[in-house]
Amino acid sequence: MLSWGCDAACLLACAWGPGIGVPWRGILVAYTLTRMAGSLRVTPGGLGVVEASLTALLVLDGPRTDQAIALTLLYRIAICWALQPIGWACRLGLAFGSRRADHHAGSDRRTG
């Protein structure tokens, strides 16, 4: 529940930041229905499904199509793609850390 609340808050912030006028109730309804559509797992990560449904639902609630597309892309970048480099860095750190540990363990066996 906390994760969903933070996701919805991110969507609200993405709307308020550039000044896209969408009522907060409309954003919450669009977010909830989009989560349901994204949970169908038609594509990995709901790619395309989430963007299309969120944009369409936002347009129904007031903003112009270009504003809804911008809001949707800003939200998806913030929620999905901005975190990817952090995950990649952690994965590389774990991979190099385990290689280093294996290398040291191997040299200890030779000298011991």
Q: What is the mean pLDDT of the chain?
A: 85
| Domain ranges across the chain | 2-81, 83-112
DSSP state of 63: S
Q: What's the pLDDT score for residue 69?
A: 94
Assess whether pLDDT exceeds 60 at residue 80: yes
Helix residue ranges per DSSP H, the chain: 2-16, 24-38, 49-60, 65-76, 84-111
Q: What is the pLDDT of residues 25-51, one digit of tens each?
A: 888 999 999 999 888 878 887 888 999
pLDDT of residue 103: 63
- Is residue 12 scored above 80 in pLDDT? yes
- Select from 79, 81, 74 the least CA-distant residue to 18: 74
* pTM (two decimals): 0.72
Per-residue pLDDT for 59 more than 90? Answer: yes
